[in-house]
Amino acid sequence: MTPADLTLTDTDNRSWKFLDYLPNLIHLKINRITPLILSSALLLLIGCNHEPSTDIDWSSYLGDKASSQYSEVNQITPENVDQLEIAWTYNARKEGEQTGGLMECNPLIIDGVLYGTNSRLIAFAINAATGEELWRFSHSAYLKDFGIETTSGGVNRGLVFWSDASDRRILFGVQSRLFALDAQTGTPIQSFGTDGFINLKLGLGRDIGKSRYSSNTPGVVFGDLIIMGSSVPENLPAAPGHIRAFNIRTGEQVWRFNTIPHPGEFGYETWPEDAYQRIGGANVWTGMAVDEERGLVYCPTGSASYDFYGANRLGANLFANSLICLDARTGKRVWHYQTVPHDILDYDLPSPPNLFTVTQDGKEIPAVSVLTKQGFVFSFNRVTGEPLFPIEDVPVPPSTMPGEDAWPVRKRPTKPAPYTREQFTIDDVTDISPESQAQILARYKTVRPHIPFQPLTEKQDTIVHPGMLGGAEWGGGAADPNGVLYFNSNDLPAIITVIDLENTTSQAQSIFTQNCALCHGADLNGGNAFGQEIPSLVGVSERLEFNDIMTVIKQGRNTMPAFQHMSSDLVYQLAKYVMDPENYDESDFDQKEENTDTLRYMHTGNNLWNDSQGYPAIKPPWGTLNAIDMNTGEYLWKKTFGEYPELIEKGLPPTGRKNLGGPIVTAGGVLFIGASLDGYMRAYDMKTGEELWRDLLPFGGFATPSTYTVDGKQYVVIAAGGGRGTPTSDLYVAYALP
């Protein structure tokens, strides 16, 4: 995109827009400037009486730097929300473009312009009142000019806006690069890094080689700094998830907080001596929040890699699975709390933190809370780190896995009460039909009796509940000014089986188990992983050519990451195995290719436990929407969230359904949310939890919506990208009152 590619598509009375674009018009070829445009420019320059906008923006990821998912807009109320209708739609995929991965972007809206990304991570700007396009930026086309080939796949959940006088920038992560674009033109800012971008793989304190490293969730801004998290592999090898700050003007790295401590740093003794040189993970993949007044940033971290077996990282493993408060200026630790020491069940912190104020014993307390997969809300005084409610230690059974040493206790807040069932007993087996119940009961009797946080074993299948999808997920919660927390949740069990790689029949099967079984399953049958339907690889040779499979492994596709760390021989052998596992011959396999970073024990994949019809093994509700008064820790209401139309037709009450993406709340008293796999956009009364309105989206809205006003009119917009077993799109849908 160059200034010559810009077009003026909105000449309404918001004269700021024309004035912002005027410098670019001056550079247009003269034959593209009509006398009418020149005359209009002169009239605007001479006669414009620009007044500051009174509109309400959505200027940060999740609404504001406090990650509150709250807006002061109040035009839409419980009394009129049922009148909402589609105001505009925007197809972010152009004709001829292929769909990409999942579209989970929470768009920004600033001064009447909406900034977002599509499923192929192309950034764009559109008129927020009409959906009319202003500019697009393709990172792959731009990098190609520098001889840099990018891989397919990846997710982007949002962007960052920063301004200083006339310098207005959009920053967003694409795989391992962070771009800075001119907000008015979409062109890379050449003074940022190298030609408008920086390589996030550099500056981590060790060489991570070809290991995957990306930034799916936007960073947060403090002054002239952008503070970044990362997404790294959950198996091995994996990069460390250190938290870093970069100068927004130059791209220079300013500070780094080592989430896997180096020698001499706080927490170093909670790992093996050389962990900082070889262990990965402990990364902030969900988003952060900033207390600008106090100069503090709050960072929730994930598990250390590998997530399910930690014999190579014995100890508590600070700062994995922790909420960390850092000095935003320097990156120095202020306080931390580790919710799961030595995690071996992938119980990372999956949600952005929320900042709000509560009143306890007549005193106002600045608070921070974070949701978990286990169904807990951990909440603290955000200045001191003192818990708002007591946290108890609950004993956990020891591990029977060779070399493993499970942490003896789990952390459990006494308030609020868990929002999922903590234990999956035989009385909790599904009862939606006699057939489903009999099927699940038969399996239930063959697995280990469920105990919360029970370590895995190679001897018997283990129930993990809540499963790896939660509980809460990356959509997080919304906090209103009264200290009420609103959030959606899953109540979905999983069954995990440990695999001893020494018992695999071939080296290629071992490689598949290490790298692919996490999603596709050890049996190649696919299933549910990370909240989405993963396709079966059984019979893949009938659908894809051998070279196509090799290309997908090497470059990725849609949400599947690229396995660039694999040598060509490994990719070749893996493709051979996937094509025909039963007849695979490894006689031509160079055994020197074995990955020395892997562990002996892996697992069969992050599969949810469903019946043969795809319904969860546990009794409903399978999805809920919750409101908790964090002043007291008590629930205000709890509602079943989502449904299966075919079960409703059979006379069953709403069961709830798997959901991903979060809610937003408004001063008008309305909560908006998509998220549920039933594909509806819904509105709820914040006081009662009553559903007030719903509309079936053209494609599923598995992202967090945004709300804003333009010329005094309120809009609610959501990225309706579908996927997760439903049809996909690149559609943005905006609602407004007539």
Instruction: Convert the pLDDT of each residue in 232-250 to its tens digit.
Output: 988 888 999 999 999 999 9
Which one, of 258, 276, 289, 359, lies nearest residue 315 by Cα?
A: 276
Tell me, which fold does domain 498-603 have in CATH?
Cytochrome Bc1 Complex; Chain D, domain 2 (1.10.760)
Instruction: Convert the pLDDT of each residue in 378-407 to its tens digit.
Output: 999 999 999 999 999 999 999 999 999 999
* Residue 41 pLDDT greater than 90, yes or no: no
CATH 2.140.10.10, domain 70-496+611-736, yes or no? yes
Burial (CB < 10 A; 0-12, 13-18, 19+), residue 80, is middle
Q: Which residue has the tokens 């959030």?
A: 487
Lowest-confidence pick of 118-127, 419-428, 549-558, 690-699: 549-558
The more confidently predicted of residues 524 and 643 is: 643
Whether 271 and 294 have beta carbons less than 8 Å apart is answered as no
Instruction: Convert the pLDDT of each residue in 442-469 to its tens digit.
Output: 999 999 999 999 999 998 999 999 998 9
pLDDT value at residue 533: 64
Whether 288 and 311 have beta carbons less than 8 Å apart is answered as no
Q: How far apart are CA 21 and CA 357, in angstroms?
A: 41
Q: How far apart are CA 715 and CA 352, in angstroms?
A: 24
Residue 102: what residue type?
Answer: L
Which one, of 356, 309, 384, lies nearest residue 63 by Cα?
A: 356
Instruction: Convert the pLDDT of each residue in 575-626 to its tens digit.
Output: 777 777 777 777 766 654 444 456 888 887 767 899 999 999 999 999 999 9
Query: 31 — phi, psi (to 5°)?
Result: -75, -5
pLDDT value at residue 538: 78
pLDDT value at residue 725: 83
pLDDT value at residue 4: 31
* Residue 17 pLDDT greater than 60, yes or no: no
* Residue 504 pLDDT greater than 90, yes or no: no
pLDDT value at residue 549: 73
The more confidently predicted of residues 724 and 223 is: 223
What is each CA distance from 222 to 64, 329, 393, 599, in whole angstroms?
A: 12, 8, 36, 40
Biggest alpha carbon distance in the chain? 81
Rounded mean pLDDT, 517-542: 67
Helix, strand and coil percent figures for the chain, each rounded to 5: 15, 30, 55
* Residue 680 pLDDT greater than 50, yes or no: yes
Pairing of strands 70-71, 664-666: parallel
Rounded mean pLDDT, 41-68: 71
The residue extents of the domains of the chain are 3-47, 70-496+611-736, 498-603
Whether 225 and 248 have beta carbons less than 8 Å apart is answered as yes
| DSSP secondary structure letters along 345-405 | S-----S--EEEEEEETTEEEEEEEEE-TTS-EEEEETTT--BSS-EEEEE-PPP-STT--
Q: Which residue has the tokens 């562990």?
A: 599
Q: How far apart are CA 353 and CA 291, in angstroms?
A: 11
**Percentage of the chain lying above the pLDDT 70 cut:** 84
pLDDT value at residue 517: 64
* Residue 9 pLDDT greater than 50, yes or no: no
SS3 call for 635: strand
Instruction: Convert the pLDDT of each residue in 506-521 to its tens digit.
Output: 666 666 766 676 667 6
* Residue 31 pLDDT greater than 70, yes or no: no
Instruction: Convert the pLDDT of each residue in 722-732 to its tens digit.
Output: 988 889 999 99
Which one, of 75, 59, 88, 66, lies nearest residue 698 by Cα?
A: 88
Which one, of 717, 666, 664, lies nearest residue 695 by Cα?
A: 717
Q: How many CB atoms are closer than 10 A to CB 8?
A: 15
Looking at every residue in the chain, the average pLDDT score rounds to 88
pLDDT value at residue 38: 35
* Residue 36 pLDDT greater than 50, yes or no: no
Rounded mean pLDDT, 429-447: 97
Q: Could you tell me which residues are beta bridge partners of residue 64?
A: none
* Residue 359 pLDDT greater than 70, yes or no: yes
Q: Which helix H or strand E contains 695, and what residues bound it?
A: strand 691-696
